Amino acid sequence: MFKKIASLLSNMTSKETDQPDTDKLSFLAATALMIELSRADNSIDKEEIQTIISIATETFGLSEDEATDLLNEAEAKNAEATSLYEFTEVINENFDKTQKYNLIKNIWRVAYADQSIDAHEDHLVRKVADLIYVSHADFIKAKHEAGNP
């Protein structure tokens, strides 16, 4: 298991990767963080999963089938992960400030999908925002924008 994680991290952080691989790894990391949010309240709702697929099609420009494949792959990576750092490191290396803000807003969209924000969900979004260096002001702004589409 540790070899798989080391291999994943090596692949995710390699500077020699070409742009499509970097994009895929970034999309995978972002999706894995959204999946982690959907699991935070110990109840994965179909609304949350559908929201993740919608975000993947809107934000990453994927087809519905590609978004579903990405979701499945991200679920597998999320299940193997030992911490959020594996994903936030990829985000920090490949996303600019605006993309990070939009990721936090999208994570909030997943949280709001079931019409209820659990304390564990709120905590997780705060933690991810801190790990990807999104300011508290932007964290709050993203929360309000996601809650009032």
For 18-28, what is each residue's pLDDT tens digit?
Answer: 455 778 899 99
Q: Tell whether the model's pLDDT for residue 142 goes beyond 50.
A: yes
- Give me the mean pLDDT over the 51-67 stretch: 93
CB contact set of 81 (below 8 Å; sequence gap of 6+)? 5, 32, 87
CB contact set of 32 (below 8 Å; sequence gap of 6+)? 74, 75, 77, 78, 81, 87
Q: Kindly report the average pLDDT of the chain as a whole number.
A: 86
Q: Which of 96, 104, 84 is nearest to 147 (CA)?
A: 104
Q: Tell whether the model's pLDDT for residue 4 goes beyond 70.
A: no
Q: Which of 130, 112, 124, 134 is nearest to 45 (CA)?
A: 112
Reported as a single tens digit per residue, the pLDDT across 94-108 is 999 999 999 999 999
Q: What is the CATH number of the domain that holds 41?
A: 1.10.3680.10
Q: Tell whether the model's pLDDT for residue 119 goes beyond 80.
A: yes
The pLDDT-based confidence of 111 (bands split at 50, 70, 90) is very high
Residue 42's domain spans which residues? 21-147
Question: Worst-scoring range by mean pLDDT, 13-22, 36-45, 59-68, 93-102?
Answer: 13-22
Note whether residue 34 is domain-resident.
Answer: yes
The pLDDT-based confidence of 3 (bands split at 50, 70, 90) is very low
Note whether residue 31 is domain-resident.
Answer: yes
What pLDDT was estimated at residue 9?
Answer: 45
Note whether residue 118 is domain-resident.
Answer: yes
Note whether residue 35 is domain-resident.
Answer: yes
Q: Tell whether the model's pLDDT for residue 110 goes beyond 60.
A: yes
Note whether residue 11 is domain-resident.
Answer: no
Residue whose pair of structure tokens reads 């659990």 in the numeric block:
118
Note whether residue 5 is domain-resident.
Answer: no
How many structural domains is the chain composed of?
1
Note whether residue 16 is domain-resident.
Answer: no
Contact (CB, 8 A) for 77 and 33: no
Contact (CB, 8 A) for 53 and 38: no
